[in-house]
Structure 1
Amino acid sequence: MPGVMTSFGTSKTLATIPISCYSAGLGIGALFSTAFSEVFGRRIVYRVTAPLALVFTLLGGCATNFGTVAIARALAGLFASPCLTVGGGIISDVWNISLEKTGTIFAALFVLFVVAGTQTGPMASAAIITNHSWRWEFWVSAILFGGSTIIAYLLPETYQPQILRQRAEARMGLITTRATLTRLVLTSLGRPLHMLLVEPTVFPTGLVMAITQSVVFSYFVSYATLFQKIYHHSPYAVGMAFCPLIIGSITAIPTIAIFDQLFYRKPRIEAIRTGTKVAPEKRLYPAMLGSITLPISLFWLAWTGRADIPSIIPILSGGLFGFSFVLTMLCLPVYHSDFYTAHYSASMLAALTFMRFFISASFPLITPTILDKLGFTWATSMLGFITVALIPIPWILYRFGPYLRTKSRYIQA
């Protein structure tokens, strides 16, 4: 942000607009990318959107005015969104997550990489702007998008309805009419929004993920403000203060694996032997733990972030924060993937992603104002109180999930 503020003469609040634009683009793009992937297949969506995300990232780096940066970030987010939704659909296409351990592992890794990018970004950004201009943040992102574009053109098609459609067209000369395609696109586009409205487990899960993501955006602003203004760290040192978040996130993975092995895998083996099923709610134990530890990490940061307390104390709170964030953001989508078929899994992820990023998009804008009015301690404590209000949701899903699933229109479809 400082580089953008200097280059274009904007205020700190205004300089956060590109961040909000990118987040909103991710949320809106999730709906469209999923709709098109369920009509035209996964592969073509990646092949079209990956190069466009690269182009608009380059445009942002070349921008000569602030408006171009904001628009380029919005469009880059729009076309980068398949990475957050279609990827999960591909995993559901290839594996039955509820039955195959490999599928669960890849689903967990997929969500981990999505959330890890949020946490490694500040470190990478700090390292870049220490030695280069802010435009190099765009160049590095463009290099990564370039690699993604190459991979996109190597991916095979995995969506079974599209594979069957292609075979029918090749063998019997069947052609899907424009009217049929339009109807399919509109149906697929509306499905994630419909799931948010009618699926009893999707909306509360989306609410948890949206508010948690909002807290994360505010947390990053508060975190940077603390170490810049109170501890007077350099930009590079501020970036390195995010290391515990990454360590905590990595620690969450074996924790989830232990829970999964104890409470899901072993009962599933027994269930297969006896011809019964294991409730997918067994996947929620880590999220239930994370719902408790997340507010603890925020209050830890809020009340130890003072000049008279060594900076290492609030820095260490980041480890618990990263740990809690991954437990929540990883286990809730995997829980849903257990009982939605491959046909609806991508729509479910699109619904969660749309709600997560669209609602949280405004938080980078309002956080600096909240910090100025409330001060660091109470502004961060407010985030803690918000997450306290979310504690019951995973526990309610665990207790009443079996009943709520009987009310689903898509599981029964």
Structure 2
Amino acid sequence: MEPDKDIGPSSPGPDTDVESQAWKETQAAPPPAHLPDERGRDDPSRLTSMASEKPTVIMEWDSPENPENPRNWSFGKRAFHTAIPALYGFVLTIGTSSYVPAIPFVMKEFKISREVALLPLSLYIFGFIIGPLIAAPISELYGRRVVYWSTLPMLLIFTGIASAANNISVLIIFRVLAGIGGSGALAVGAGTIADLWDMQKHGGRAALFFILAPFLGPSLGPLTGAYIIHQYHNNWRFSLWLVLFIGAPLAVAAAFMQETSEARILELKGKARSSKSSRQAGGSRLLLQKLRIAIVRPLEMMFLEPLVAYLSIYTGFAFAMLFSFFGSYNYVFQAVYAFNQRQVGLTFLGIFVGFLFAIVTFGIFDATLYRKAAAKAQGKPAPEHRLYAALLGSFLLPISLFWFAWSPMKGVPWIVPVLAGVPFGWGCLAIFLSATTYLVDVYLSTNGASAIAANGILRYCLGSAFPLFTLQMYTRLDIHWAGTLFAFLSVVLMPVPWVFFWKGKALRARSRYETNDA
């Protein structure tokens, strides 16, 4: 889970009597060029529908006060349904890095090289590309709840089998299946948030919580994994059981989730004029069609849209650097400071602190500079005003990487390279938040989710690849020059948000897709 932020309709009013419910059907029309389709409500699966499709029947509540509308649920009920996808993202991503301290023990037990022992990590991350592409169209046809109810059990079952593996092949295969099966919920989390909250009011904070949780997993996984392995006598399997320990109570809680998708709620209540049998008859055809769209369109945008391509490369690099630290932190702090696995896990807390700074910074920019621009533009600010946090992050990223490249050495306290993680986490998440909201604002509800999906494909491709060669770089180039190479790459990519900030409108005008014309 990479999470997006659209602007939803205004907040509903107070509850009304359930007897006053009625239903309306209207023909869906393309939204104005400057606004997202309010009925999309940040639904990634809905956003992937083709602009060229024939008009479809859209079902609506007759009034904003309808008590069955998820936005009219009690605060506690909405908070519960917000916490589930956020915690799910945390469980899924802590499974990436909690395995890192287990690698030496996996190498010893199965008598394999470090490169082979890294495959259960890299291929688990690679699975995050496939799962959301499958889950998005399923969510559109059958609702969000079915995705949560199916993906979390798959994550737990496949992880449990992987933890019992008696050879490396079984471990690799079921880690891949856990990544694919478990990551489907990443496709519906943002839509769930937008179902529940007005994005102009409390929805922004809920969305930030949802986005932050999956970033906390990789930063806390090395620490929790190292301590639980040590606690249970160096049994590496407990690094995977950690996912089961956290995920099992979450699965029980998820069983009490209710459907939040507006269209699915209306169908389940039997209020749609179209017959249920006719919908089921065309369900398979629609599913295949939407699955094709969910896969093909993001790939097209990744290769043909400069805005999508360059932002995806930039965010992908920043994200991949986080996963490269799984190898470089172990190597650097063990070689220079003789840290054990638990101490290495503690060094990731610097990145964790940086993530918190990024959330605060993005919130400040959104509440000040962006809202000022929105007021000045009568509620229609240019999407480029979403990039303020990325502009800051473009400086923080190379600073942190040069810092980490040259600070670890004899005579320099260990805290100095640890503190380099603060500006890294700050810059990494700031860039991601800005890029995500910018792409959604640019491509609106028509193609916004496809742009985000393209970003996710490249992000997880790079994230799965970097751990495989990072250690070789550090052993062959030495600590300082390997880190410097990464830092120079961040300098090369540094102009990306600045170019879009100044020339974004011209680039949007050349797009092959419908874009925001503000």
TM-score computed with the length of structure 1 as normaliser? 0.91
Name the aligned partner's letter for residue 309 of structure 1. V
Give the CA deviation at 1:305.
0.8
1:409 equivalenced with 2:507 (yes/no): no
1:122 equivalenced with 2:212 (yes/no): no
Q: Give distance in 1, aligned partners of 2:179 and 2:503.
A: 36
* 1:403/1:153 CA distance change after superposition, 3 Å: farther
1:302 equivalenced with 2:436 (yes/no): no
SS at match of 2:420: helix
Q: Give distance in 1, aligned partners of 2:254 and 2:449.
A: 18
> Counterpart of 1:15?
117
Task: Select which of 187, 205, 208 maps to 1:108.
Answer: 208
1:389 equivalenced with 2:489 (yes/no): no
Q: Give distance in 2, aligned partners of 1:194 and 1:161.
A: 28
Q: Give distance in 1, aligned partners of 2:205 and 2:459.
A: 23
> Superposed, which structure 2 residues align to 1:360-379 within 5 Å?
360-379=463-482
Name the aligned partner's letter for residue 409 of structure 1. Y
Q: Give distance in 2, aligned partners of 1:105 and 1:348.
A: 23
Task: Select which of 288, 291, 310 maps to 2:394.
Answer: 291
Give the CA deviation at 1:2.
1.1
Q: Give distance in 2, aligned partners of 1:348 and 1:359.
A: 17
SS at match of 2:112: coil
> Counterpart of 1:136?
238
Bigger shift: residues 161-170 or 277-286: 161-170
1:249 equivalenced with 2:351 (yes/no): no
* 1:345/1:34 CA distance change after superposition, 3 Å: farther
Give the CA deviation at 1:410.
4.3
Q: Give distance in 1, aligned partners of 2:256 and 2:305.
A: 35
Name the aligned partner's letter for residue 118 of structure 1. P
Give the CA deviation at 1:332.
1.4
Give the CA deviation at 1:249.
1.4
Contact 1:192 1:347 survives alignment (8 Å): yes
Decide which structure has greater helix share.
1
SS at match of 1:338: helix
> Superposed, which structure 2 residues align to 1:27-38 within 5 Å?
27-38=129-140
* 1:69/1:137 CA distance change after superposition, 3 Å: same
Q: Give distance in 1, aligned partners of 2:219 and 2:157.
A: 24
SS at match of 1:187: helix
Q: Give distance in 1, aligned partners of 2:464 and 2:396.
A: 24
Q: Give distance in 1, aligned partners of 2:201 and 2:441.
A: 12
What's the RMSD between the two structures over aligned residues?
2.4
Task: Select which of 315, 323, 331 maps to 2:418.
Answer: 315
* 1:400/1:362 CA distance change after superposition, 3 Å: same
* 1:249/1:204 CA distance change after superposition, 3 Å: same
Q: Which has the higher contact order (CA 8 A, sep 6+)?
A: 1
Give the CA deviation at 1:95.
4.8
Name the aligned partner's letter for residue 120 of structure 2. P
> Superposed, which structure 2 residues align to 1:248-287 within 5 Å?
248-271=354-377, 275-287=378-390
Q: Give distance in 1, aligned partners of 2:402 and 2:299.
A: 34
Give the CA deviation at 1:153.
3.1
> Counterpart of 1:212?
318
Q: Give distance in 1, aligned partners of 2:304 and 2:202.
A: 31
Contact 2:161 2:174 survives alignment (8 Å): yes
Q: Give distance in 2, aligned partners of 1:185 and 1:165.
A: 21
SS at match of 2:188: helix
Name the aligned partner's letter for residue 237 of structure 2. R
Q: Give distance in 2, aligned partners of 1:129 and 1:323.
A: 29
Give the CA deviation at 1:120.
1.0
Q: Give distance in 2, aligned partners of 1:128 and 1:277.
A: 50
Q: Deviations over 1:141-187 (max 9, x none)?
A: 01222234334433333334444555668654242223333323323
Q: Give distance in 2, aligned partners of 1:408 and 1:107.
A: 29
Q: Give distance in 2, aligned partners of 1:346 and 1:141.
A: 28
Contact 1:88 1:346 survives alignment (8 Å): no
Q: Give distance in 2, aligned partners of 1:329 and 1:43.
A: 27
Q: Give distance in 2, aligned partners of 1:351 and 1:164.
A: 31
> Superposed, which structure 2 residues align to 1:131-280 within 5 Å?
131-132=231-232, 133-163=235-265, 166=268, 172-174=274-276, 175-176=278-279, 177=282, 178-271=284-377, 275-280=378-383
Q: Give distance in 1, aligned partners of 2:288 and 2:269.
A: 21
Q: Give distance in 1, aligned partners of 2:456 and 2:298.
A: 10
Q: Give distance in 1, aligned partners of 2:449 and 2:358.
A: 24
Give the CA deviation at 1:36.
2.4
Q: Deviations over 1:227-265 (max 9, x none)?
A: 112110121111111121111211222222221122012
SS at match of 2:257: coil
Give the CA deviation at 1:103.
2.4
Q: Give distance in 1, aligned partners of 2:256 and 2:467.
A: 36
- Could you tell me which runs of 5 or more consecutive residues in structure 2 were left unpaired when the two chains were aligned: 1-102
Q: Give distance in 2, aligned partners of 1:360 and 1:39.
A: 31
* 1:359/1:245 CA distance change after superposition, 3 Å: closer
> Counterpart of 2:72?
none
TM-score computed with the length of structure 2 as normaliser? 0.73
Percent identity between matched residues is: 35
Name the aligned partner's letter for residue 389 of structure 1. V
Name the aligned partner's letter for residue 158 of structure 1. T
* 1:314/1:40 CA distance change after superposition, 3 Å: same
Give the CA deviation at 1:339.
4.4
Quick check: which has more Rg, 1 or 2? Answer: 2
SS at match of 2:468: helix
* 1:396/1:153 CA distance change after superposition, 3 Å: farther
SS at match of 1:306: coil
Q: Deviations over 1:195-221 (max 9, x none)?
A: 323444222221112111222222231
Q: Give distance in 1, aligned partners of 2:208 and 2:303.
A: 26
> Superposed, which structure 2 residues align to 1:62-81 within 5 Å?
62-81=164-183
